[in-house]
Amino acid sequence: MSKGFFNLRSLGPIVAILIVLVILPSIIPRFYTYILAVIFMTALLAMSLNMVVGHGGLFQFHHGAFYGVGAYTVALMLTKTSLPMWVGFVAGPFAAAFVGLLIGLFCVRLTRLYFGMLQISLGSLIWAIAFRWYSFTGGDDGIHGIPLPSLISSSTGAYYFGLILLIISLIVMYLIFKSPFGATLQAIRDNPERCEAIGINVRRHQLIAIVIATFFAGVAGVLFVVVEGSVFPDLLFWVFSLEIFIMCLLGGWFTFAGPILGAAIMISLRTFVGIYTEYWTLILGIILILLIFFLPEGVWGYISEKCGFQAKETAERERE
């Protein structure tokens, strides 16, 4: 495993950023604390998608469905049962991973675009159930007023809860990314035929990657319930999944941290540009066009290339 992430030179900026993030809620207005919490949960969702899209080469076009499954699982358990809160928080990610396993069993039989189209079809079935089953999911009204303990029901509490979940999830995902499984997954992305020819079970690795990614999407769904205190069917709609896909592209989907930057850019555009005009998506479209022409590797990919991060990582892999 590469030690580049853990050396003192790398840890210095990371610790500095963490200190700033811990202090921020005490010096910024509550609105900005809420926006940062939204960025945390969206960044986690984008990171989970990038595990299969950027690192696995799978066209997972309906990743939001698993995000919604995790959120709805928590919401239903907290509103319709008397089980402890932590049971719902644990059940959400595992429910998302289970649904990811079921859908993945069908989708990994196909490749590239066909994989994505089948996933959109199956994910749309989940959206239709949540949208129409009024007696259970609340239908198109969703579920509101979800009871949460006072410790995490405030914007500051949700902020710190999201920060902790994001840090833990990023550490785990990084360890997976740097593990032999992560290296094999990237090899499958680059050349699945050659990997299969040397005896690697491509479908099994892809299915495991889907389950892991959907688990973390479920974690992001748990965080959504904590931040928003409600759930609604739009979380399961394929258009929202497209937004998450764009975040990975915007930040750099062949990088580890790119989706975090992409999520921050998207949420900031939607929040602050949307204050002045309802056509913020037009601005986003212009940015994407410029990105495709001038920064095909994404914003973080460009920064990494200019700063030499990619060259250092390549040299570390060659030494390994």
Instruction: Report in angstroms the alpha-carbon separations of 197 from 112, 155, 183, 205.
Output: 19, 52, 17, 15
Task: Report the pLDDT value the prediction gives residue 309, as an integer from 0 to 100.
Answer: 55
Residue 307 lies in a domain: no
What type of residue sits at position 84?
P
Pair of tokens at residue 197: 């020819």
pLDDT at 310: 53
As a whole number of angstroms, the distance between CA 214 and CA 75 comes to 18
* Separation CA 246–CA 269 (nearest Å): 13
Residue 183: name the closest of 162, 200, 166, 158 by CA. 200
Look at residue 270 in the predicted model and tell me its pLDDT: 86
Identify whether 296 is part of a domain.
no
In a domain, 295, yes or no: no
What is the pLDDT, as a whole number, of residue 249? 87
Domain total in the chain: 1
Residues 48-62 have pLDDT tens digits of 999 998 888 888 888
Query: What pLDDT score does 187 carry?
Result: 92
Domain membership of residue 309 (yes or no) is: no
Q: 294 in a domain, yes or no?
A: no
Closest to 266 (Cα-Cα) out of 237, 243, 282: 243
- Residue 91 is part of which domain span? 8-237
Identify the pLDDT of residue 1.
42
Q: For residue 106, which of 138, 145, 62 has the smallest C-alpha distance?
A: 62
- Residue 4: the pLDDT is 41
Q: What is the pLDDT of residue 238?
A: 84
Sequence-distant (6+) residues with CB within 8 A of 248 are 46, 49, 50, 53, 54, 258, 259, 262, 298
pTM metric for this prediction = 0.88
Residue ranges of the chain with per-residue pLDDT less than 70: 1-10, 308-320
Per-residue confidence (pLDDT) for residue 5, from 0 to 100: 44
Tell whether the torsion through CA atoms of 130, 134, 140 and 146 is positive or negative: negative
C-alpha distances in Å from residue 126, one per residue of 49, 63, 151, 229, 286: 18, 12, 32, 21, 32
CA distance 280 to 254: 26
Structural domain contains residue 12: yes
- Kindly compute the dihedral angle of the four CA atoms of residues 39, 42, 46, 47, in this order, to the nearest 10 degrees: 70
